[in-house]
């Protein structure tokens, strides 16, 4: 158990390189996840038996064309949706049969979301936006302010804390959103097409920011349709028709597939 | 999410759409203001009526009057009628323990032209002369402001003394002398049917609390100095208020003299024979316990039937019917006022529902974002509900603030209504009604918002 504690507790800088550690408990464990929708008498299998383990400190991307089920997968892992069948264990909590209230609390404390359209509240200032998750977890206003400023500092936005989102560029808005995702110190950060609404230079900076978070030990999951973006992550999972079609995992193969996944697909 | 944060965000929401919020609040403002205003007017009227009820002796006072019309089965005994006499008074004093201060009264009124009250060429317009015993002071709720009441000895000796009301003073002496001081005509002599009477006491001036205030103000303003304050200028349109004003005016126009004096010196109809057989205008008394009204009346009736040899040539008059009229009138006005205020609040509430529904459909995305970062359904529910309550309560507070102005405006527009009285009670009720309206109106939008699916909501444009 000392072994395990060491691995989980110190994923730090070279966590993903530690490819020989196979016996540690995964942060996220999906087993045979199914999700079906009924649309006008038709049954749509959005997810059709997905099983997946994600370790703490991993930087992975979920890739697939639109309609492949990758968003559904992210919503289910992100506790916004629940699966039709299958089990999910997130950090020791079986979230597939948790109540709505528990799910809200998990979203609040263990998960950070970064969206394509930033999804900041336009009426609030940058700092108030970052404080928002902490309002639902019951921090005092002084604590909220301190932590929000720390998070903004980590994304170089502290000098914009009094601006409204409409006064910011897309990149700045996305950095604010990242600060908001980080502020409650979540176990895992989901980024759904985080660069989809940004020009390529800004997008590059945002991706670097995720890479930096990863090297600082955060678990980050990118969801994208773009193989070039997915290429920044060591581990890539390709979803097609609700199934895992292809997976590149440096832990299993030993290869370092940086920036070459695009040619494989 | 704590309450303060929620309330603050509610205010932020109102400020963000202040014009829309103001329009929405208007219904609640009207509702609360009309509720409070209505309550103030009803309260003013109620106070006036209750004061006058107390002034006329309250519920404890009962009066017995002669009744010439016998019940059918006694019709053939009509010539036996002797009316109420002093015998009855003594009989009741000795035999009816549930009543006290049984007092005889013989009344003369100036408009029946058998009464003239004069002094130095001046005479009174309307006067109510009452020959009675000193106890009547308590029963009629009289208060002596200057001098004293005549005594039992003066009654026994049939002295020419009198106690006058202020209106009599006003007619015969004027109210103020040339220095603006109130005239107190104690020890002066007036003539009642050309016989001299010494004034030994003067009653206080009876008027409603509101009128008293007005009079003091007028006095300060040095107006009305020559004329004196004329209560007749206070005219009330509805019958209940008028009835209560008569209570005040007839008390002010009273002259009280000893019963014996009246019988032996002023009564031309009085022939020889025993004083005891002189028929009285009425006899009046108080009961010890209002809850024993029925029993007391029965007791008095039993005694009187004995002294009247079984003839029912008398009838009771209690203040109960007056009290019932007051309650009924107040109830009617309150109900109709509540109805109007209720409709205003209903309309205001529907306005709030409407605006909250459109507000949440504008903010579907916001709700999705809040849910995705950890807001529970309850958080969203309470946020929307709080916004609605904040909206309604703000309207309620504005309504409360504006109600005194509304009351003043209405009172000056219609000066002949009874003066309104703003009560804290009605303001508390108005405020809580606005809060209730807000919470009921917020319920549907809040449930709708809480039920939103976060994924759908995030996708919403």
pLDDT digits (tens, 9 = 90+) for A172-184: 999 899 999 988 8
Q: If you ran DSSP here, which 8-state letter would residue B315 be given?
A: E
Q: What percent of chain B is modeled with pLDDT above 90? A: 18
Indicate if the pLDDT at residue A82 is higher than 50. yes
A100 close to B (CB below 8 A): yes
pLDDT digits (tens, 9 = 90+) for A184-237: 889 899 998 888 888 888 888 889 888 888 888 889 999 988 888 888 888 899
Asked if A109's CB is within 8 angstroms of B373's CB, the reply is: no
Residue A101 domain-assigned? no
- What Rg do the C-alpha atoms of chain B give, in angstroms? 33
* Residue B175 predicted with pLDDT over 60: yes
Euclidean distance between CA atoms B68 and B292, whole angstroms: 28
Tell me what pLDDT residue B220 has: 66
Question: What's the Cα-to-Cα distance from B283 to each of B64, B404, B453, rounded to whole Å?
Answer: 5, 46, 82
Q: Which domain holds residue B206?
A: 115-267
Same domain, B175 and B104: no
Domain assignment of residue B272, yes or no:
no
Kindly indicate the confidence band of residue B177, based on its pLDDT and cuts at 50, 70 and 90.
Answer: confident
Backbone angles phi, psi at A31, to 5 degrees: -130, 115
Mutate to test the interface with A, among B10, B367, B374 (most CBs of A within 10 A): B374
Cα separation, B255 vs B258, in Å, equals 10
In a domain, A136, yes or no: yes
pLDDT bracket for residue B226 (50, 70, 90): very low
Do B217 and B156 have their domain in common? yes
Tell me, yes or no, whether A61 lies in a domain.
Answer: no
Using an 8 Å Cβ cutoff, are A106 and A87 in contact?
Answer: no
Q: How far off is chain B from A212, nearest CA to CA, in Å?
A: 22
A75 touches chain B (CB under 8 A): yes
Asked if the ipTM is above 0.90, the reply is no
Cβ of A135 within 8 Å of Cβ of B371? The answer is no
At residue B292, does pLDDT exceed 90? no
Extract the tokens encoding B295: 């029993």
Output B104 or A262, whichever has higher pLDDT: B104
Say whether both B235 and B293 belong to one domain: no
Angle between helices B3-16 and B377-413 (to 10 degrees): 60
CB contact set of B177 (below 8 Å; sequence gap of 6+): B183
> Residue B291 gets which letter from DSSP?
G
Cα(A226)–Cα(A203) distance, integer angstroms: 12
Helices B424-450 and B18-55 meet at what angle, rounded to 10? Answer: 150
Residue A141: give the domain boundaries: 121-185
The total domain count for chain A is 1
Across the A:B interface, residue pairs with CB atoms under 8 Å apart total: 61
Residue B193 sits in the same domain as residue B163: yes
Classify residue B279: in a domain, yes or no.
no
Q: Are residues B163 and B189 in the same domain?
A: yes
Determine, yes or no, domain membership for B98.
yes
Using the beta-carbon criterion (under 8 Å), do A133 and B376 form an inter-chain contact? no
At residue B12, does pLDDT exceed 80?
A: yes
Task: Indicate whether B299 and B382 sit together in one domain.
Answer: no
Nearest-angstrom CA–CA distance, A205 and A18: 26
Position A4 pLDDT exceeds 50: no
pLDDT at A43: 86
Sign of the alpha-carbon torsion through B369, B370, B372, B373:
positive
Q: Which residues of chain A have a CB within 8 Å of the CB of B450?
A: none
The H or E element spanning position A115 is: none
Could you tell me if residue B433 is inside a domain?
yes
CA distance B396 to B155: 63
Distance from CA of A10 to the nearest CA of B (A): 27
Quickly state the pLDDT bin for B228 (edges 50, 70, 90). very low
Same domain, yes or no, for B104 and B121?
no
Q: Are B424 and B406 contained in the same domain? A: yes
Q: DSSP characters for A60-106?
A: EEEE--TTSSHHHHHHHHTTSS--SEEEEEETTEEGGG--HHHHHHH
pLDDT digits 0-9 by tens, A10-63? 444 444 444 444 456 788 888 999 999 888 888 888 888 888 888 888 899 999
Residue B70 — φ and ψ, nearest 5°? -80, 160
Distance from CA of B43 to the nearest CA of A (A): 47
Phi/psi of residue A61, nearest 5 degrees: -125, 145
In the predicted model, is pLDDT for residue B448 greater than 60?
yes
Measured CA distances, A24 to A57, A92, A186, A254 (Å): 12, 13, 20, 18
Do B262 and B376 lie in one domain? The reply is no
pLDDT reading at B232 higher than 50: no
Residue B277 lies in a domain: no
Interface of B with A (CB under 8 A): 1-2, 5, 12, 16, 365-366, 368-379, 454-455, 458
The tally of domains found in chain B comes to 3
Q: What is the mean pLDDT of residues B7-18?
A: 85
Whether residues B294 and B331 share a domain: the answer is: no
Contact B374 A101 (CB under 8 A): no
**Chain B CB contacts of A105 below 8 Å:** 374, 376
| pLDDT tens digits, one per residue of B247-276 | 788 888 889 999 888 888 877 655 555 666
With a CB cutoff of 8 Å and minimum separation 6, the contacts of A35 are A45, A46, A47, A69, A72, A76, A81, A83, A84, A242
Residues of B in contact with A78 (CB under 8 A): 372
Mean pLDDT score across all residues of chain B: 83
pLDDT, tens only, B63-72 = 888 877 777 7
User: Which of chain B's residues have a Cβ under 8 Å away from the Cβ of A104?
Assistant: 371, 374-377, 379
Query: Choosing among B12, B366, B373, B383, which should be mutated to test the A contact, i.e. which has the most A CBs within 10 A?
Result: B373
Residue A67 lies in a domain: no
Q: Is residue B273 part of a domain?
A: no
Residue B33 sits in the same domain as residue B153: no
Co-location of B299 and B415 in the same domain: no
């Amino acid at each position: 158990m000392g072994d395990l504690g060491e691995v989980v507790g110190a994923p730090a800088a070279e966590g993903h390189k530690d490819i020989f550690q196979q016996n540690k408990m995964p942060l996220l464990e999906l087993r045979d996840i199914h999700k079906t929708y009924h649309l006008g008498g038709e049954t749509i299998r959005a997810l059709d038996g997905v099983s997946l383990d994600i370790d703490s400190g991993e930087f992975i991307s979920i890739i697939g064309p639109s309609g492949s089920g990758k968003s559904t997968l992210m919503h289910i892992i992100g506790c916004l949706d629940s699966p039709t069948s299958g089990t999910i264990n997130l950090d020791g909590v079986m979230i597939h049969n948790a109540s709505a209230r528990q799910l809200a609390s998990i979203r609040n404390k263990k998960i950070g979301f970064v969206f394509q359209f930033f999804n900041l509240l336009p009426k609030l200032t940058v700092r108030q936006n970052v404080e928002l998750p902490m309002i639902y977890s019951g921090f005092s206003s002084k604590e909220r302010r301190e932590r929000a400023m720390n998070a903004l500092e980590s994304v170089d936005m502290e000098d914009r804390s009094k601006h409204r989102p409409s006064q910011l560029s897309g990149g700045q808005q996305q950095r604010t959103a990242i600060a908001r995702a980080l502020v409650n110190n979540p176990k895992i950060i989901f980024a759904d097409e985080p660069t989809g609404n940004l020009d390529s230079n800004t997008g590059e900076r945002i991706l670097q920011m995720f890479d930096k978070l990863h090297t600082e030990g955060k678990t980050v999951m990118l969801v994208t349709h773009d193989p070039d973006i997915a290429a920044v992550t060591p581990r890539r999972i390709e979803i097609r028709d609700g199934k895992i079609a292809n997976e590149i995992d440096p832990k299993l193969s030993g290869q370092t597939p940086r920036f070459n996944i695009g040619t494989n697909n | 999410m704590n309450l303060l944060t929620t309330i603050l965000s509610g205010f932020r929401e109102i400020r963000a759409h202040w014009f829309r919020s103001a329009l929405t609040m208007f219904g609640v403002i009207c509702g609360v203001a009309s509720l409070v205003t209505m309550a103030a007017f009803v309260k003013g009227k109620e106070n006036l009526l209750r004061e006058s009820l107390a002034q006329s002796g309250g519920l404890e006072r009962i009066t017995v009057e002669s009744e010439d019309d016998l019940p059918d089965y006694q019709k053939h005994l009509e010539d036996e009628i002797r009316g109420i006499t002093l015998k009855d008074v003594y009989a009741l004093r000795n035999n009816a323990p549930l009543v006290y201060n049984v007092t005889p009264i013989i009344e003369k009124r100036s408009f029946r032209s058998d009464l003239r009250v004069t002094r130095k060429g001046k005479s009174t317009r309307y006067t109510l002369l009452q020959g009675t015993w000193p106890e009547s002071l308590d029963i009629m709720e009289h208060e002596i402001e200057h001098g004293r009441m005549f005594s039992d000895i003066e009654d026994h000796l049939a002295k020419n003394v009198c106690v006058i009301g202020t209106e009599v003073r006003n007619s015969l002496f004027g109210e103020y002398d040339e220095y603006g001081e109130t005239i107190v005509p104690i020890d002066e002599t007036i003539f009642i049917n050309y016989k001299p009477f010494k004034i030994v006491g003067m009653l206080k001036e009876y008027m409603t609390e509101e009128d008293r205030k007005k009079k003091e103000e007028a006095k300060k303003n040095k107006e009305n100095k020559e004329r004196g304050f004329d209560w007749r200028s206070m005219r009330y349109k509805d019958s209940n208020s008028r009835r209560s004003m008569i209570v005040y005016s007839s008390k002010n126009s009273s002259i009280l003299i000893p019963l014996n004096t009246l019988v032996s010196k002023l009564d031309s109809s009085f022939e020889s024979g025993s004083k005891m057989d002189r028929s009285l205008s009425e006899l009046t008394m108080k009961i010890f316990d209002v809850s024993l009204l029925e029993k007391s009346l029965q007791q008095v009736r039993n005694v009187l039937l004995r002294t009247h040899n079984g003839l029912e040539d008398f009838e009771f008059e209690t203040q109960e019917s007056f009290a019932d009229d007051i309650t009924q009138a107040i109830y009617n006005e309150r109900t109709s006022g509540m109805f109007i205020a209720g409709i205003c609040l209903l309309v205001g509430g529907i306005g709030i529902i409407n605006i909250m529904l459109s507000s949440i459909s504008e903010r579907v995305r916001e709700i999705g974002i809040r849910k995705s970062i950890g807001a529970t359904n309850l958080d969203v529910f309470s946020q929307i509900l709080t916004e609605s309550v904040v909206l309604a309560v703000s309207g309620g507070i504005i309504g409360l603030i504006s109600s005194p102005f509304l009351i003043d405006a209405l009172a000056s527009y219609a000066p002949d209504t009874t003066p309104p009285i703003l009560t804290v009670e009605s303001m508390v009720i108005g405020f809580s009604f606005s809060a209730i309206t807000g919470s009921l109106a917020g319920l549907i939008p809040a449930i709708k918002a809480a039920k939103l699916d976060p994924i759908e909501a995030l996708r919403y444009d």
